[in-house]
Amino acid sequence: MRSSVKSRGILPKKAVLSVSAYSAPAEGRLGSIRLDFNESTSPVECTYPEGLPASSVSAYPEYGELMECLSRVLDIPGESMMLTNGSDEAISLAANTFIEPGVDSALVSKPCFVMIPHCLLLAGAILDQVDVLPDLEFDIEGLDRALARKPRLAIFATPDNPTGSMLTREQIKTWCSDYPETLFVIDEAYGEFAGESVIDLIGTFENLLVLKTFSKAWGMAGLRLGLIAGNPELLGYIRRVQLPYSVNSAAVFTALRLLAKKDSVVERVQETVSLREQMTRDTNEQGYVMRETRANFGLLGAGFLAGSVCEFFKQKNILLRNRSNSVFGYAGSADSKPDPMWGYVRVSVGTAAEMDLYRKTLEEFGRDFAVLFDLDGTLVDTTESFDETVAYLVSRYSGRELLQSELDSLRLEGGFNDDWVAATELLRRRDVEIPLAEIAREGVAYYLSIAAERETMLIDTAILNSLRRKYPLYIVTGRTRAEYEPVWGERLDKLFEAVYCLDDVPGLAAKPSPDYLLKALTDSGARQGVYVGNSVDDMQAARAAGLFAFGFSSSSGAGAALTDAGAQVLLPSGEALAGLFMLPTSQNGETK
């Protein structure tokens, strides 16, 4: 029964009100393939707390044997380390031990492991956050400037989560030497996968604490075990803050068993690194960007489809982690702000079988998503062909020149995507009545006489080729087959799975009806997709078909009309489209 008792004005301290509760993984994950939270999905056999002595449950934990074992394995004195309830407790202890609430500042990189700023804010720190660079690397110059302001604490994970970036050993040494008044806390939760550690530097720098965890490489996320290594005097202060017996006996028992099988753990780490490298190659070969890290995960560049990818995988019982804060962050939509993690899906490395299933499922997603294009004004610049033909027809029959603005305004009204219908309407508004059939007959003849030399591509074929490596491409145009084939058939047919012209299927209505879009979607076998067009009719048809609607326009006036008609994103260029899909680029910045 839910309690009906409400607080009568009882509130927590301000620091608590300033943060949100940690969003833990949803319940019920154990039956799924867990590639979302960087856990080990293949436990080391015969190490978990089967056979845990009853006395270990009924008595308070003892840590001496584990501390001696860790001292040998890590090659550091026992007095230079202490056990913690995972890295989370270690971060919290450092913050609550050394931060004077409301007085001391703490430096972090942004984004970083969520518990770092969370614990610092709860401890009352004045938080100084330095954004990562656009390529997700640490902004070393920005961090240097912030360190010059002498923060009490500087906490960094390396490799970092979620970016996967690393700080070099030399950089950490330089900072510890140059800023002796700052306590540097280095979280090496993923250090085993990187093959690097600075834990040996704790004897050199008094202002360095190094955190380790058994949650990742050691596969003990469910038992919560970590440690802090550093200056014994600093650890003495931290022990004053730590609650007694925060590490349980089951964790101690299991860690000792794992340490006895250290070679098996090392082999699993090496296998994970190999699988991570293979995952990167497999993903890139499918046309996606995979940011490889030196941790046990990679970052799949899915662009605006990050959420769709995660949902598709979830339907296959595979869990991934969407790191985007918004769907269209790249395009700067009104409800989003710059997000360096926009478009990325974090994929943890699982077993060889799980990674093979990841590869196959990503291929399935590509087949399940269709990219449909309008032709005129979207793929092809027709201002010197169709627009010129309409102007010719209006001038010929009315005796008055047509302004481009008149034609543009008419198209924004909707229902005039067909140029011959548009020409007929423009003439009617000039009190000239000409049958549509006559306009169409003469219009086609004039258009075909000039189109081949005047029409050019608006979206580079390199972008289309890159896009078709991932998704099937289609054209749905308001042109008739006779208007399309002679001009663009030979050039475009090879880039697209199919081209749907207005007169291809008797009985299907023209846009803004979704008929042809639905036909293309059905024929493709895809269940979802996007339509890229430049007219009000295009946007209305896309939304009616249940597709994403991308408006292709460089005009603010036209853009507003497209948005009103349902456009979710306005694209000024093909490059903007490539950005939304996070297409891979070469070293010179061109789309591959």
DSSP string computed for 495-512: GSSEEE-TTSSTTPPPTT
pLDDT at 556: 60
The number of residues making up the chain comes to 592
- How far apart (Å, rounded) are the C-alpha atoms in residues 498 and 473? 8
pLDDT, the chain, mean: 92
The residues, any chain, with a CB within 8 Å of residue 429's CB and separated by 6 or more, are none
Q: What is the mean pLDDT of residues 122-146?
A: 97
Question: Among 28-37, 55-64, 86-95, 166-175, which is the least confidently predicted range?
Answer: 28-37
The residues, any chain, with a CB within 8 Å of residue 318's CB and separated by 6 or more, are 32, 33, 35, 354, 357, 358, 361
pLDDT at 589: 52
Burial pattern 225-257, b for ≥16 Cβ within 10 A else e, equals bbbbbbbeebbeebeeebeeeebbbbbbbbbeb
Q: Pick the residue with more confidence: 25 or 239?
A: 239
Whether the CB-CB separation of 228 and 238 falls below 8 Å is answered with yes
pLDDT at 1: 46
Q: Pick the residue with more confidence: 331 or 579?
A: 579
DSSP state of 12: -
Would the CA dihedral through 575, 581, 586, 589 be positive or negative? positive
Whether the CB-CB separation of 424 and 439 falls below 8 Å is answered with yes
Nearest CA among 132, 168, 227, 574 for reference residue 373: 574
CA 316 to chain centre: 20
Q: What is the mean pLDDT of residues 566-585?
A: 93
- How far apart (Å, rounded) are the C-alpha atoms in residues 367 and 44? 37
Q: What is the mean pLDDT of residues 566-586?
A: 91
Q: How confident is the model at residue 335 (pLDDT cuts 50, 70, 90)?
A: very low
- How far apart (Å, rounded) are the C-alpha atoms in residues 244 and 234? 17
- How far apart (Å, rounded) are the C-alpha atoms in residues 53 and 46? 15
Q: Extract the runs of DSSP E, i.e. beta strands, from 89-236.
A: 105-110, 126-131, 153-157, 183-187, 208-213, 226-230
pLDDT digits (tens, 9 = 90+) for 187-222: 999 999 999 999 999 999 999 999 999 999 999 988
The residues, any chain, with a CB within 8 Å of residue 404's CB and separated by 6 or more, are 383, 387, 391
Q: Containing H/E element for 380?
A: strand 380-381
Nearest CA among 182, 183, 200 for reference residue 191: 200
Q: What is the mean pLDDT of residues 28-41?
A: 85
pLDDT at 416: 85
Count of C-beta atoms within a 10 Å radius of residue 161: 25
Q: How confident is the model at residue 457 (pLDDT cuts 50, 70, 90)?
A: very high
Percentage with pLDDT > 70 across the chain: 94
pLDDT digits (tens, 9 = 90+) for 85-112: 999 999 999 999 999 999 999 999 999 9
Q: Extract the runs of DSSP E, i.e. beta strands, from 182-235.
A: 183-187, 208-213, 226-230
- How far apart (Å, rounded) are the C-alpha atoms in residues 454 and 409? 23
Q: How confident is the model at residue 39 (pLDDT cuts 50, 70, 90)?
A: confident
Count of C-beta atoms within a 10 Å radius of residue 517: 25
pLDDT digits (tens, 9 = 90+) for 292-322: 899 999 999 999 999 999 999 999 999 999 9
pLDDT at 326: 84
Q: Pick the residue with more confidence: 558 or 457?
A: 457
- How far apart (Å, rounded) are the C-alpha atoms in residues 434 and 405? 22
Q: Pick the residue with more confidence: 392 or 239?
A: 239
- How far apart (Å, rounded) are the C-alpha atoms in residues 433 and 273? 73
- In this predicted structure, the answer to whether residue 420 has a pLDDT above a threshold of 60 is yes
